[in-house]
Each structure stands twice: as C-alpha cells, then as structure tokens.
Chains A and B, each alone.
Chain A
Amino acid sequence: MKMSHACAIVGMLLCAALIAGCITPTPPSGTPTPTAPPAGAQVILTYTKGTGPMPTLLGTDQIDGYIAWQPFVEVPPMAGIGKVLVYSGDMPPEGKWKDHPCCVFTANEKFISEHPDLVNAMTASMILATRYLEEHPEESAEIVADWLAGKGNFTYGDISVSSVDVLKRAFPTVKFVNEPNDQWMDSNIEFVHALRELQVLTGSLKDSSDADSKALLFDTTPYEAAQSMVDQGKIVTPAPVRGTVGVGYLMSDHHAALFVAIKKWEYFNDTYGIALKPRDPAASRPDAADLIVNGQKVAEMKMISGDAGPQLMQLMATDNIQFALVGNPPAISAADKGTPVKIIMAINFEGSGVVVTEDSPVTDWNSFVAWAKERSAAGKPLKIAAPGKGSIQDVMVRYSLEASGLSVREG
C-alpha cells in the first residue's frame, strides 16, 4: 500500500516536471516579440473553418459581420439578419481588389505528366463551361441553384426564399474568367507576399523570388493545349484511364463551371464532342460522371465537395483527388508545403463580400469604419468572421481594414 502510494507520487512529480519542461517558454532568437496592443481602433477577426457556421453566428449575434464567398453573402439579407456592406471587387482602397483573382483550376503535378491528354481535355471542358456561363447567366444561375439546393427554398422563420432567386442575385457578383495571363499571375504572386506576411508560408515559398514562385505554382501548358483544341474545334481523345479520377470543389457559385459542365453534358457532347456525363442524371448534385471525348468514355470522375480549400489540398496531397477547383491561397500554401499541385488557369475573379448585422448603423464602408472605431473605443471591438487564416477573404479584409486605419487582432 505504502509502496504504491510512493510510486504514484513519484509518477505525478515526474509528469509535472515533464509538463513544466514542455511549456517553459524558450524564446526563439531572432523572432520579434509579440507586439503590444497597437494603438488605435481594433477589429477582431475570427476564423470559422469554412462558411458553415457563419449564418448561425450572425443570426445569434455572436459576430458583427463576416466575409464569405458567394452565395453565402446573400444568405443574411434574405434571412433578414444582415445586409451586404460591400462586394469584394469594391473593397477599399479603391481599385485595389477590382478583378482580384479568386479560385483556380489545379491538378496534381504527377497526374499532369502521366495523363497530359486527359488533363488537357478536362481543362477544355472547364473552358467551354466557363464560356457557357458568360453567355447564359440566367440559366447557369438556375443550374447552380439546383446543384446547391435542389432549386428548393431556404426557410428562416416566417421567411422562405427560393434558391433560384438567391443564386440569380449572387451570380452577377462573380466574374468567370480562365485566361492565365501575366497580369493575373502577378496578382496571384501578390497573395504569396500577403501569405508570407501572415507567416503562413514556411516551406519552399518562404523566401523564393517571384520568378521561382511562379515556376513552382503554375503550369499553364494544359491551358494552352486546351485553348488551342477549343479554337480548332477538335478535342484530342485521351487514352482511357483506369480507376476513378477525383475532382474536388466547394459549394459555391464560383465553381459553376463544373456544375454546368455536368448538368449540360448533352449540349457539350453534341456541340464540342466533350462531356462530363453524370451517372445519375436525376440527382441535383451528381457525385460521379464519365468523361466522354468524341463519344468514347475515357475516365470515371468522382466529384468531391470540401468544406474549404485547405481540406481539398489535403485530399490532393493524399492522392484522393487529382483535380481541384480551389481558392488560390490554399493552392499556394499547399505548394509551399510540398504538395505536388499545379495551378493551370483561373476559374473566377471576385465573388466574395462582406455582410454586417441588420441593426448595424452602417450604410457604406466609411460608416462601417466609423462604427468599428466607436465600438473599439467603447471596449467592444467588432468581431468579423472569415473562412480561415490566409484565405482570400482573410487577406482582403485585413488589407482593407488596415488601409482604413483599423488594426486587426485574431480572436
């Protein structure tokens, strides 16, 4: 009895010593000490790992606003719990975020080199679908409403809103563009700089030159091959691929090109000889499709939706998916950490927005800044949610807040 007590006490002491040793701070040399609370007005940024919790947090007054991708910018106005402050292209400083890059089309580097024709064909399918989005916005919005909500209604207490109406409102705030030109690449590289400042980049992009960053991030050869096939009106039939090919995407109208490519497969098949034919055409959200080129089935594709970009990049790193439609920061962070991901082309510009609570005294950005200062002075700084640290939305809202003389604290 005595012996076991003694053992227990010694054990506990050992544990305590170990734990104490673990948490004793050893100041790393060279890193700056955490800055003291900065002077001036503060805004708290809180991360919600995707958009999932945002409407609920806003509806229960736990946050004062959020920045999200579409269609989640439109949810608060229709639920009567918030209003749109600004769409991302118009965020300050003026002109800074006009045509800002957003989602990109990516593929696994190894998969590109092993199946170049298939990657080219898939890229061509996305290019053709993007063209369709531009030409048929109304119909495309309906297709997205079907994909995201089965064209059903959203219900908030007494309010019931058609998802088709919501998506028709959200759609014009997104610009669907593919071309990976120099200007677009440079603005992507600006995100590399922003992520460095946030200390998100710790690997090969930590101090790379811009030219090296570009070389690591981009592979536009599939885009060029696909574009020339589209121009010539002739898609090369790839050799069939065994096993399934995974395509990751997010539940957002940013990724409308994928939804339209699948839902309008007959049109693309008849017009261009390339189609993503859904296994279950009756499903609102088909999760399997055959890639058919010139009447020949070349691959079975699985559509994998993620909660946010980092999760999709994790799936690509573990070879669960070979393609991903994803925001550029998750792709940049993943490439930095050694994930074999290459950005092929753009998917869309803009398409995010900031919402604030319904009862906020806010009509435009200036009154928002005034409100933030007032609340900070009263010791109750505004709390704004963003999908994740280093997301496009995080980078933009930080920049805009700081450019307006507000400082940002995470919390």
Chain B
Amino acid sequence: MRYLRFLLPLLLIIGWEVASWVVNNPFILPSLETVIPILLHPFSPAYTLGTGSLVENATVSIQRVGLGFLVAAAVAIPIGILMGRSTLLNDFFDSTIELLRPIPPLAWVPLALAWFKIGLTSIVFIIFIGAFFPILLNTVDGVRSVKKTWIEVATTLGAKEKQIMTKVVLPGAAPTIWTGLRVGFGIAWMCVVAAEWLPGISKGLGYLILYAYNFGQTNLIIAGMVVIGVIGLLIDFIFKRVEKKWFSWRGLER
C-alpha cells in the first residue's frame, strides 16, 4: 500500500484530461497538453508572457516568503514565550491579538502600500501577517504545555529563571513551536498570490498567475498553481523530516 498515495493524484490527472475533452473550453479547463509544455521548460522564458522563466519566478517568490516568514518567526516566538510564561503579559496581549488575527492579509494591502510604499517591505509585511499568528499561538501553547513537574524539579534543584528557560521551557516547547513554524510557513506560502498582487511587482509566481489572467491564459495560471503546490509540498516535507528527527521524543514521553 506504499504507492496508494500516488493513486488519487493519478486519477485526478486522468479525470482532468477527460473533463477537458468533455468541457472543451480552455477558459474553464485547459487540456494537459497546453499545461505540460510550460512545466517541462522551467528555465525557458518563452512560456510566461515576458515574465521570465518559471524557476526565476519561483526563486523570487521563495525569497520573499522566506524573508516574511523569518521576520514573523523572529517577532512571534519571543512574544509567544513571554505570553506563555507570564499570565500578566498574556492578558495584556491576548485580546488585541484575537482582534487582529481574523483580518485576512489581503485586507492589509491598501494600508501596506500607504505605509511601506511599493517594494519589498510591503510584500514582506503581507507575508508576515499571514505567518505571524500561527507561530505565535503555537509558541504560547507549547510553552504552556511544558510539564509543571519538570519546572518544579528544576526549581527544587536550584535552577535560575534563565536556566529554566533554556534548559526546560524552550526544549520542552520546541516541538510545538516547530509545528507553529510549519503551519506558519504553509500560510505564508499561501499568501504569495495576495502579496504579489501589489503593484510595482514584475516577477513571482503570484504575479505570473494574475498576469496570465489578463490574457485568459488559463494554462499558464494552472502551471503557476502546480508550481506553488509542488514547492509547498517540498517545504512541508522538509519541516516534517526535521520534526521526525529532532522531536520524535514527544511521542515517547507520554
């Protein structure tokens, strides 16, 4: 049953091809033959309406999302640890965070442009908004779920607050924080289309999709979607591998 996971994608591809014959409308569903050549030439700029090669666009998107994600992690993890350790700080931040959390990144676009102007900062900001909350909430949760007994034992043995933090709380919370990072990156990557919807951008997978839309090039739109999906899958795979290697103790200690 190892290969079962490949069955559904295969069926979907076959279903797609059959459906594209039946529908016979490239705007609703372009056929595989018009999408595959684009995917088979990832280094050629000839298939993307002058937007550069797929690889070039993917690289730009990964850099933007990576940067937004790193900034989000750098801000969310420290705040999350503080909130997890201190009820006072948690009460201080909590309501504001719950108020801001449901606002979709797309809604921030007009303000991002007015505040940060056209350019990388605005893009990074939109991605930051997407990645920030899952990382923060998982960090708070991770810090809180560190067993009280561990902290008590460390205190009894004479550990200082700093030692408790670095030797008990952080290692104990690390698996949950890592889950937060994994979810956060997933959402950050989903924000790539919203972020690249900003004006003043001339490259990126999100930009490519929206640009192809102008000319009704649904095949190019789907190719861009496939690349976004594949990259998301690969990065999630890396996160999972790290989780398995470093944090497998979590399953054992229960």
Of the residues A56, A305, A311, contact of B27 by C-beta under 8 Å:
A56
Binding site for B on A (CB under 8 A): 51-53, 55-56, 59-60, 72, 75, 79, 81, 146-152, 154-157, 163, 246, 248, 251, 283-285, 287, 302, 304-307, 311-312, 314-315, 318-321
Taking a contact as CB atoms closer than 8 A, the residue among B26, B31, B46 that contacts A59 in the complex is B26
Compute how far the CA of A392 lies from the CA of B9 in the bound complex, rounded to whole angstroms. Answer: 47
Contact B202 A285, beta carbon cutoff 8 Å: yes
User: B residues within 8 A CB of A79?
Assistant: 26, 216
State A305–B214 Cα separation when bound (angstroms).
Answer: 13
Which of B67-75, B110-118, B185-193 lies at the binding interface?
B110-118
The interface residues of chain B lying within 8 Å CB-to-CB of A150 are: 45-46, 48-51
Residues on B with C-beta less than 8 A from A156 are: 26-27, 216
> Inside 8 A of B51's CB, which chain A residues have their CB?
150, 284-285
> B214 near A51 (CB under 8 angstroms)?
yes
Residue B225 CB within 8 A of the other chain: no
The number of chain B residues touching the other chain, given as a range, is 20 to 34
How far is B28's CA from A75's CA once the two chains are assembled, in angstroms?
16
Q: Which residues from A are CB-within-8-Å of B26? A: 59, 79, 155-157
**Is B50 in contact with A318, judged by CB distance below 8 angstroms?**
no
> B interface, by DSSP: helix, strand, loop or mixed?
loop
Query: A152 and B48 in contact (CB under 8 A), knowing A60-B27, A315-B113?
Result: yes
Those of B200-214 within 8 Å (CB) of chain A? 200, 202, 210-211, 213-214
Question: What are 15 A-B contacts with C-beta separation under 8 Å?
Answer: A55-B27, A56-B27, A72-B215, A79-B216, A150-B46, A152-B49, A163-B49, A284-B45, A284-B51, A305-B200, A307-B199, A312-B199, A314-B113, A318-B113, A321-B118
CA A56 – CA B219 in complex, angstroms? 12
A315–B117 Cα gap in the complex (Å)?
9
Q: Are B217 and A155 in contact (CB under 8 A)?
A: yes
What residues on B are CB-neighbors of A72 within 8 Å? 214-215
Contact A320 B113 (CB under 8 A): yes
Closest CB in chain A relative to B35 CB, distance in Å: 10
Q: B25 an interface residue at 8 Å Cβ cutoff?
A: yes
Nearest Cβ in chain A — how far from B135, in angstroms? 30
Task: State the Cβ distance, A32 to closest chain B Cβ, in Å.
Answer: 32
- Residues of chain A with a CB closer than 8 A to B50's CB: 146-152, 284-285
CB distance from B39 to the nearest CB of A (A): 14
Closest beta carbon of chain B to A176's beta carbon, Å: 22
At the interface, yes or no: B90 with Cβ under 8 Å from chain A? no
Question: Bound state CA distance, A148 and B47, in angstroms?
Answer: 13
Cα–Cα, bound, A163→B46 (Å): 12
Q: Is B139 an interface residue (CB 8 A)?
A: no
A380: shortest Cβ distance to chain B, in Å? 21
B130 within 8 A of A: no
Known: A155-B34, A287-B200, A304-B118. A56 touches B218 (CB 8 A): yes
